[in-house]
């Protein structure tokens, strides 16, 4: 990777979005910078001039001139403040209409670009764009808890559960392929024979990719469900994904009438243990064992669902 590679990519982006083509939207009277300010204000209706506009790559003088232009055109209003640098800024009704129109045109342009990409190549394009954002982005592109979606598994997700459990636990704890075999059997049993009314799998998705999972299956004991295969990818940790996944299982199990929810884990998974305890699980037993190529201490946890949620 060289500076020339970055410059070449930058020129490509400029050409693709038509930034140098004044005829791309001849009826759009606003520059890309002015349009970006309108976009930010439209998504922060009562923002302060320093938040989020100060995060834009614009110096204060340029930003002030843009706001002057938008105010003169009747698109923004700036309320008086003792500190002129922190005057409240809002879009007028006309400003909102203008921002919506510009956003619609931007979507049309993006849609036209995407239409030129064969459907089979779009996943590769999406992954490449995510990689660029992750490596060259800033704090504004950092994931937030509300960006995580919990959903049912789709095609390929059950295979992902096996692959990521095996790879992640090998990398973080040194577990061997015995664990992959165990996970594969658990997932295969679910895929081949499960009651959708009493058993479920959840996938946590962030930016279009799976970043976590958990299962709720019937246990051998009557009225008992078992939580299995809780996993959260490293890049999604700290977003409350594990809590949401465990909460999904407990809510589902209680809602369909299970009396107890149990799980088996190992003491090295301390973060998961803290999540279980927060959701009301009680550690009911521990036993040393050697599995997956290492010495471990297995743990049995139990939650009485009849006690009701905390």
Q: Indicate the SS3 state at residue 267.
A: coil
pLDDT confidence of 22, banded at 50, 70, 90?
Answer: low
Return residue ranges of the chain for CATH 1.10.10.10.
Answer: 3-142
pLDDT confidence of 50, banded at 50, 70, 90?
Answer: very low
CATH code, 3-142: 1.10.10.10
Q: For 224-257, how does the pLDDT look when each residue is reduced to its tens digit (9 = 90+)?
A: 999 999 999 998 999 999 999 999 999 999 999 9
Say if residue 174's pLDDT is above 80. Answer: yes
DSSP 199: -
223: left (phi over 0), alpha (psi -120 to 50) or beta: left
What is the pLDDT averaged over residues 73-95?
A: 74
DSSP string, 9-23: HHHHHHHHHTTT-TT
Burial label, 66 (beta-carbon count in 10 A; 0-12, 13-18, 19+): buried
Return residue ranges of the chain for CATH 3.40.630.30.
Answer: 148-307
Q: Which residues neighbour 174 within 8 Å (Cβ) at sequence distance 6 or greater?
A: 293, 294
CATH code, 148-307: 3.40.630.30
16: left (phi over 0), alpha (psi -120 to 50) or beta: alpha
């Amino acid at each position: 990777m060289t500076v020339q590679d970055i410059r070449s990519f930058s020129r490509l982006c400029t050409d693709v979005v038509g930034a140098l083509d004044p005829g791309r939207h001849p009826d759009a009277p606003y520059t890309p910078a002015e349009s970006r300010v309108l976009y930010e204000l439209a998504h922060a209706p009562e923002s302060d001039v320093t938040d989020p506009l100060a995060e834009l790559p614009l110096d204060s003088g340029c930003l002030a001139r843009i706001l002057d232009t938008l105010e003169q055109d009747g698109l923004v209003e700036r309320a008086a403040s003792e500190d002129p640098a922190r005057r409240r800024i809002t879009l007028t009704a006309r400003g909102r209409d203008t921002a919506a129109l510009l956003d619609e045109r931007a979507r049309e342009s993006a849609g036209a670009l995407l239409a030129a990409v064969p459907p089979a190549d779009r996943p590769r394009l999406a992954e490449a764009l995510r990689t660029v954002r992750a490596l060259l982005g800033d704090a504004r592109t950092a994931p937030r808890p509300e960006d995580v979606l919990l959903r049912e598994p789709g095609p390929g997700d059950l295979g992902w559960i096996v692959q990521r459990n095996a790879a992640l636990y090998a990398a973080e704890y040194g577990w061997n392929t015995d664990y992959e075999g165990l996970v594969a059997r658990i997932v295969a049993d679910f895929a081949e024979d499960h009651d959708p009314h009493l058993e479920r799998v959840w996938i946590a998705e962030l930016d279009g990719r799976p970043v976590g999972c958990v299962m709720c299956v019937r246990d051998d004991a009557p009225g008992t469900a078992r939580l299995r295969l809780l996993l959260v990818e490293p890049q999604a940790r700290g977003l409350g994904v594990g809590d949401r996944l465990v909460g999904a299982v407990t809510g589902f199990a209680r809602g369909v009438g299970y009396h107890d929810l149990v799980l088996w884990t190992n003491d090295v998974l301390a973060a998961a243990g803290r999540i279980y305890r927060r959701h009301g699980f009680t550690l009911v037993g521990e036993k040393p064992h050697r599995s997956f190529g290492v010495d471990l201490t297995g743990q049995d946890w139990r939650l009485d669902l009849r006690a009701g949620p905390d």
